[in-house]
């Protein structure tokens, strides 16, 4: 399959590396010039679950690449999705498929402005990747072959056939991938998790373990999730609020090995003073609530507080 | 008038100094031993609106003082009110009056456990005072002769007569003091201000000027105040939500000279890792909301976040 990875951050590079290694025709598209040049000059270094590898893969600035591809896998930051699609709209022909593996809510709205819904596939992944050294191009790491789930957005035999083919292709590359029939549920579930852990740990400058020890935090998390569920239900997705609360709380447990980690939003904003994805999590719930006249006070306040922190830290 | 100041912090000392200087029989009661000893050895240093003065005034540990007084002016921290009253309950005889000038809500409940409501007077002051040097005993400063308002809690001719006498006594000491008929409104008004400025600036680590520049912060402040107003109305107090929102927002204006200050709760918690008075502000609204089945989501979340910060900073 001929695949373009749109957004070659740590996640895009990790997927690109796996897919290329398995024999697919893969290119990386990114706006970071040093990164693109270094990949082309000396290959992409990848620490693949502990093994050091180098993949020789072509990288381009988005506007410099014009070949027809079967599939674009979107791996930008949520905030950059729209502007990146603008830069690659020449690649999004009538029959080019687009798989979006971004965190957060509301991306289909954006994607639909650039391609037919029939071409769109949504997915969720539990892989987490990072640049091995901050600011060093062409060198990424990921620590587990986490599972990916994908599904077509518009139901049709052809969409299902191609969706299964994408899933098979990713799976064959060594990243377990399943074609599912409830991807929206999975997207909302992950958004609930991030809308609680990312946002609250960022506001309070806390890791997940400590967050979980705060008095009445479960009541707050439950309240945030109730509002997510109210908006999800307007989109035909049913979330079990109690089950979801337990799921989110499980990330704060002593028994969860990653509980002492600071979530990615905390790293982005508090450490690196970068703008957050809150508008695709709590901010999405808050905005849809206003549009639909559904009260979402917890998410309203969380959204304003995270944006407040962005303003105070002069995040860019 | 024979007056005991219960809680000789910066505020208690400033009032004690003014009242003593005007010829009243005043003693200071406090648990900080070095402070009490130093005051007794070499007097209380007071920077009174720019003038350096020394007042020779007797200070005692609360349990060491047993003389009958006409009036106890309560100036503890909100959190210490109950335990301090416990220590001076021998002073609270049938006809001893108690004036409470503490910030925050819910203090009458506590005071009523130690004396008849007929003896209680509530007040609000805009004086702000501080220890001149952190941790140096017997040396305080205050920068303006701000206004004090007081009123009796239970209506009676005698309560009114004595209330006016207290007001006159404070006024004669050089601190403008008015006997009013809407002290609860003033208490709620100040609580709204502190429940917004103190709590939000503490959560976000911001001064008031910067807080005011955050996107949608006025919507948040308006929402917080709506919940204060809902609880206030159950106590017979009517707050004009729009007027109150403008009042609170005025503290964030470029034109307000104090806007660059960090509110006292920020200083307590973020700088000095001390427990806050949030349970007497947002926490009171939240708690009464639960009891009365009135939703108070904004204050619920703010209360949990401030307590969360206390936990994370190991405040004491």
Regions of chain B where pLDDT drops below 50: none
Cβ distance A214 to B308 less than 8 Å, yes or no, reads: yes
The pair of three-digit structure tokens given for residue A196, joined into one six-digit string: 């609680």
Does the distance separating the beta carbons of B304 and A216 come in below 8 Å?
A: yes
Number of separate helices (H) and strands (E) present in chain A: 12, 12
The residue written with tokens 């901010």 in the block is A283
B63 with B85: CB under 8 angstroms?
no
Residues of B identified as active-site: 190
Fold category of A184-313 in CATH: 1.10.1040
Ranges of residues in chain A whose predicted pLDDT is under 50: none
What does each C-alpha distance from A22 to A19, A34, A59, B61 come to in angstroms?
Answer: 5, 26, 18, 79
- Closest chain B C-alpha to A80 CA, distance in angstroms: 21
CATH number attached to the domain at B2-181: 3.40.50.720
- Nearest chain A Cα distance for residue B191, angstroms: 20
Res A134: pLDDT: 85
Closest partner residue to B223 (CB to CB) among A211, A297, A302 is: A297
What value, to the nearest 5°, has the Cα angle with vertex B155 and ends B152 and B159? 55
> What is the three-class DSSP state of B272?
coil
Residues of chain B in contact with residue A305, where contact means CB-CB under 8 angstroms, are 203-204, 305
Q: Per the CB < 8 Å rule, is A216 touching B298?
A: no
Give the C-alpha distances (Å, rounded to integers) separating B212 from A292, B178, B237: 28, 32, 27
Q: What are the Cα distances from residue A37, in Å, to A44, A60, A138, B84, B208?
A: 10, 8, 9, 70, 46
At B134 the pLDDT is 85
Say if the Cβ atoms of A217 and B308 lie within 8 Å: yes
- Minimal CA separation from A237 to chain B, in Å: 24
Q: Could you state, in order of their start, the residue ranges of all structural domains in chain B?
A: 2-181, 184-313
pLDDT tens profile A191-237: 999 999 999 999 999 999 999 999 999 999 999 999 999 999 999 99
User: pTM of the entire structure?
Assistant: 0.93
Closest-CA residue of B relative to A295 is B297
For the record, the structure tokens of A37 come out as: 């040049």
**A215: chain B residues, CB-CB within 8 Å:** 304, 307-308, 311
CA B44-B46-B37 angle, to 5 degrees, is 20
Q: Which residues contact B269 (CB under 8 A, 6 or more apart)?
A: B202, B275, B276, B306, B309, B310, B313, B315
Give helix then strand counts, H and E, for chain B.
12, 12
Cα B49-B151-B83 angle, rounded to 5 deg:
80
ipTM above 0.85, yes or no: yes
Distance of CA A204 to the CA centre of its chain: 23
């Amino acid at each position: 399959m001929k695949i373009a990875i749109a957004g070659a951050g740590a996640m895009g590079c990790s997927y690109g590396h796996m897919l290329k290694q398995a024999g697919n025709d893969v290119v990386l598209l990114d706006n970071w010039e040093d990164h693109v040049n270094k990949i082309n000059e000396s290959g992409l270094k990848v620490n693949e679950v502990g093994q050091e590898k180098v993949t020789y893969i072509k990288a381009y600035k988005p506007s410099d690449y014009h070949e027809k591809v079967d599939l674009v896998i979107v791996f930008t930051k949520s905030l950059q999705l729209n502007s990146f699609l603008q830069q690659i709209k020449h690649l999004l022909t009538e029959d080019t498929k687009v798989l979006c593996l971004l965190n957060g809510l509301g991306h289909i709205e954006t994607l639909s402005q650039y391609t037919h819904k029939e071409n769109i596939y949504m997915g969720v992944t539990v892989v987490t990747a990072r640049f091995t050294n901050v600011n060093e191009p062409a060198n990424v790491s990921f620590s587990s072959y986490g599972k990916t789930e994908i599904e077509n957005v518009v139901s049709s035999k052809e969409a299902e056939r191609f969706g299964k083919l994408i899933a098979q292709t990713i799976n064959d590359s060594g990243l377990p991938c399943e074609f599912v029939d409830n991807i929206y549920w999975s997207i909302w579930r992950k958004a609930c998790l991030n809308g609680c852990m990312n946002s609250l740990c960022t506001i309070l400058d806390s890791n997940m373990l400590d967050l979980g020890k705060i008095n009445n935090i479960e009541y707050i998390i439950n309240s945030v999730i109730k509002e997510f569920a109210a908006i999800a239900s307007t989109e035909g997705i049913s979330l079990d609020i109690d089950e979801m609360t337990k799921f989110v709380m499980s990330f704060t447990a002593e028994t969860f090995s990653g509980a002492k980690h600071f979530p990615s939003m905390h790293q982005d904003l508090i450490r690196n003073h970068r703008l957050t994805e809150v508008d695709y999590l709590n901010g999405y719930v808050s905005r849809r609530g206003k549009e639909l006249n559904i009260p979402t006070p917890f998410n309203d306040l969380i959204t304003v507080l995270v944006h407040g922190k962005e303003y105070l830290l002069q995040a860019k």
